[in-house]
């Protein structure tokens, strides 16, 4: 869920049925801002707070990638 305004571009934001803003996901579950050819964030400087909390390559990050793919 997006809880602070970091400048995430509108095309990467989805509003759920309760009105909360979240990062948009593609049909296969991957984040819409992830460049899968490089596995890098395309909006890194404007990534949401929750993404800033994950250390890239950390166990939690790897688990999320594995579960999404």
34: domain range? 10-68
DSSP states of 30-41: -BTTEETTTTEE
The pLDDT of residue 6 is: 87
Residue 41 counted as domain residue: yes
3-state DSSP assignment of residue 13? strand
Residues β-bridged to residue 15: 21
pTM of the complete model: 0.72
Distances (CA, A) of 2 to 23, 59, 60, 63: 7, 22, 19, 21
* Total count of domains within the chain: 1
Residue 15 counted as domain residue: yes
Q: pLDDT tens digit string along 26-61?
A: 998 889 999 999 888 999 999 998 888 877 667 877
Residue 4 counted as domain residue: no
Residue 2 counted as domain residue: no
Contact assessment for residue 61 and residue 52, using Cβ atoms and an 8 Å cutoff: no
Residue 1 counted as domain residue: no
């Amino acid at each position: 869920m997006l809880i602070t305004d970091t400048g995430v571009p509108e095309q990467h934001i989805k509003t759920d049925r309760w009105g909360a803003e979240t990062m948009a996901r593609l049909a296969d579950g991957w984040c819409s801002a992830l460049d899968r050819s490089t596995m890098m964030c395309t909006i890194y400087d404007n990534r949401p707070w929750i993404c800033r909390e994950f250390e890239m390559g950390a166990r939690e990050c790897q688990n999320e990638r594995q579960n999404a793919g």
